[in-house]
Amino acid sequence: MSMLVINGGRALAGTVAVSGAKNSVLPILAATVVNAGRNVLHNCPDLRDVQSAIKILRHLGCKVTREGQTVTVDSSVIERWDVPDDLMREMRSSVIFLGPIIARCGRARLTTPGGCELGPRPIDLHLDALRRLGVHIEERGGEILCEAGKMEGRDIILSFPSVGATENTMLAATACAGVTRIINAAREPEIADLQEFLQKTGANITGAGGSEISIVGGNTRRDTEHRIMPDRIEAATYLCAAAACGGDVTLRECEPEHVGTITSALSEGGCEISVAGRSIRLRAERPLRAMPPVRTMPYPGFPTDAQAQMMAVACTARGTTIFLENIFENRYRHVGELMRMGAHIKVSGRVAVVDGGAPLHGAMVQATDLRGGAALVIAALAAHGESRVGEIHHIDRGYEHIETVLSALGADIRRE
């Protein structure tokens, strides 16, 4: 089993080009099923989750090729309407194929999805929205069986602005007669990127980025070319690494507006941050000072996907930083591993209190999930001595060759 071996204590310096967004490319790959044509997607990162999505597309009958960062999907022929259990278990985002398969085939058979174990993440909102659109759904022994009756657009009011439920509803609604309105929709930038792709295919969708999205149903069939937006969570991760280690790092090809809550928190901790166009430069000297309370919220609030990385930074900062996790109830699984490295953290329910400033030391740790794994890498980079991070298949789900990027910034990190 591969692991990352890290000798910490070195400042980082240099420039990083931010990759395409994992949380954007996955729903857009699923959306190619709706568009019965040739779809050319640029800036696609080579991630385990992307590879899993491509496997699902090929299983359905699509022809998929990759050349560098460009993935081409010919979805003109769909031969199947099911996703087998082994593919569903590879990633949580596999449920995003439910809406597109129903829209294209009028029926679907999936099992409950896999992915990181972050506590209960029910897909009830997805299924309730699809039922409202006219889909008959039967849940049986972990299997989800769907048959589309007469699908009609209507108002779908989400009780929580779920990203996945918003995306699945958008995609299924393209097959509905009339107009569908998603009220209390997720506002994440990745939703707007999905809308832009669908508009290029000929879909009539407006409002993404706001709390209400309108979809006018109608079949789409148009050869489409699209560039995936930059990954704001990857950007946040490398900003946190630079902050924890000290140094001078510039991110290019990113969207500074998308990481405003991250840069604000790091600035409060003592980092010097400057923005120029699509670049962010961070300069930091150790030690940082404690940051204001970090409360995870739906976008445009602080992203839950950056909470663990910011906690690693807080471990290196003098003073106490409080974290309140409002999205996932089991997103502190990385805490025990950080404590192996000397971190002082107390957890009570959804609250974590970090007493930072004590020197971190190298240790053998295990990635518990994707973002928790990234936090361990950041802590190891800032620690004294050698650390070994295991279970890095979690990290590979969301970061393309993380050790190569960090080595280019001066880190002593290698994969064994």
* Catalytic residue ranges: 116
Environment class of residue 213 by beta-carbon count within 10 Å: exposed (0-12), middle (13-18) or buried (19+)?
buried
Q: Which residues of 316-330 are buried (b: 16+ CB within 10 A; e: fewer)?
A: bbeeebebebebbee
Q: Which is nearest to 127 in space by CA: 81, 191, 172?
A: 172
Is 29 annotated for ligand binding? no
Is 122 annotated for ligand binding? yes
Kindly give, in sequence order, each residue whose CB lies less than 8 Å from that of residue 257, ignoring residues fewer than 6 positions away: none
Is 23 annotated for ligand binding? yes
Is 92 annotated for ligand binding? yes
Is 227 annotated for ligand binding? no
Environment class of residue 65 by beta-carbon count within 10 Å: exposed (0-12), middle (13-18) or buried (19+)?
exposed
Is 215 annotated for ligand binding? no
Phi, psi dihedrals of residue 61, rounded to the nearest 5°: 115, -5
Q: Centre a 10 Å sphere on the Cβ of residue 147 and count the other Cβ atoms it contains.
A: 14
Is 183 annotated for ligand binding? no
Q: Residue 46: what residue type?
A: D
Is 123 annotated for ligand binding? yes
Q: DSSP assignment of 349-412, as one string?
A: TTEEEEEE-SPPB--EEE--SHHHHHHHHHHHHHSBSEEEEE-THHHHTT-SSHHHHHHHTT-E
How far out from the chain centre does Cα 145 lie? Answer: 27
Is 252 annotated for ligand binding? no
CA distance 275 to 257: 10
Is 305 annotated for ligand binding? yes
Binding residues: 22-23, 92, 121-125, 305, 327
Binding-site entries for UDP-N-acetyl-alpha-D-glucosamine: 92, 121-125, 305, 327
Give the residue numbers of the binding site for phosphoenolpyruvate. 22-23
